[in-house]
Structure 1
């Protein structure tokens, strides 16, 4: 949905603009988002192959095989990014939610709580921990439906909490908080107070929710001209939590400077 090539094409054929996005943070930082055309994509009900990488369901686990090269500004060669990621859902949710009255934008939190196992051979990294799995789909460009959005989620002692809010393209506001219980059943809960956060280095406005209206940025993982991803210390439903937070500004995304810069961050292969 962030492809500059797809945007320029008039969004005619989404299968002609596919990419696997991999972001490794820390000393061994890697960024992967190489777009490939329809001829390099294969899919069926349980499998998706994009070039040499693939995503598939295997025995109730989501298995992601990564065979890519990273992208760095002003560096013409790529470092190999190779490994396998397993996402093992602990609870599943069958309900999807519309983010707009016309139901043109749908969000589905498939696994509010999951485990992850990462085995990378290049760079040599491995770890396991908590995870989360969702997806979005839409019937119109994201920048048409939304000006901004802020999203955050946190594991609780039982289940998880997800907060979603922002401004739609028509200027109307939306906000919701969903608690997923230990069986994955979603239930709307009262929105905690707004907890404003410092703007990112690119001056993206960040926002989350917290029981006491206060949260702190522990780390900023991704900081771009239109998108920021952060780790927060917050409080939800009486629990001290570590939350993942994302803020997106689609007006920035649509601007000419950002559209000019995106191909350097997201190269495209012809085959």
Structure 2
């Protein structure tokens, strides 16, 4: 998020694009044949890009991930993201630029999201700085950054019905929450406080508090001190099954604004949703 709080950007690299209908329709047999660098910008002139590409578009080394015309690469201590993508309907246009993420430290934390370890959350750099330089007026800014990853050997909807996640900057670093309901009815609830050196401690969980539902009526909740009502301060992504927004909450007496996500996997499981997603996620199998 920008320091002024009016702009934000999200970039996700997928090998096995979990939200792609094309990957689902393929039977999820070859993750390398459904790859993507998803770029979304939020604020004035915001755009959404998510192109499902074939295996010929994927190139990897230990320090570099390339998918078609875009890439992520380590340059010393910085994660550099070079983007050259076409946004999807209804605002079709090219987005080019560079995003640089500078972690204050890299952590060693891994959180299994299921007892058998089929899904793993890996917060590599919960406290980072971000520098954005995109070829649009006003899209040159700096602010709070974050870098994590999720790994899995099964589809999300095979194991979960609902989850929320949030990352909130604090005066001593950043706090992250992960709450999920598994299909078997069991619950995952975890909270971590990270300092700038990468040290982490699991923290007592503040109470779970409801947020107003999204425009698509996705249920939302997050963590907050008793008596405080969290609120959305910036809408980012609003889909029938998924919402991302900037949310203000209060943690250990400190009011903070961070990024919050909610995912309704019962809705995502619906076959009726996949053709709708295909309009937003075009398939481009070939690449040279």
Provide the TM-score with structure 2 as the length reference: 0.90
Residues 167-182 of structure 1 correspond to what in structure 2 (within 5 A)?
167-182=181-196
In structure 2, the partner of 1:29 is: 46
Q: How many pairs were matched up?
A: 268
- Are 1:234 and 1:241, in contact at CA under 8 Å, matched by a contact in 2? yes
Q: Which runs of 4+ in 1 moved over 3 A?
A: none
- How many angstroms apart in 1 are the aligned matches of 2:29 and 2:48? 27
Q: Choose the corresponding residue for 2:103, options 89, 105, 130.
A: 89
**Aligned ranges for residues 232-251 of structure 1 at < 5 Å?**
232-251=247-266
Name the CA distance, whole Å, in 1 between partners of 2:251 and 2:214: 23
Partner of 1:197: 211
The 5-angstrom pairing of residues 1-271 of structure 1 reads 1-73=18-90, 78-122=92-136, 125-212=139-226, 213-271=228-286
Q: Secondary structure at the match of 2:258?
A: strand
Report the more deviating stretch, 133-142 or 90-99.
Answer: 90-99
User: What runs of 5+ residues in structure 1 fail to find an aligned partner?
Assistant: none
Superposed CA offset, 1:10-53 (max 9, x none): 11111100011111112211110011100111111111111111
Offset at 1:121?
1.5
Q: Which runs of 5+ in 2 are unaligned?
A: 1-17
Matched with 2:10 is: none
Contact 1:225–1:252 (CA under 8 A) maintained in structure 2: yes
Mapped to 1, the partners of 2:66 and 2:48 lie a distance apart of 19
Q: What TM-score, normalized to structure 1?
A: 0.96
Give how far 1:67 is off: 0.7
Deviations 1:192-219 (A, max 9, x none): 0111001111010000000125211112
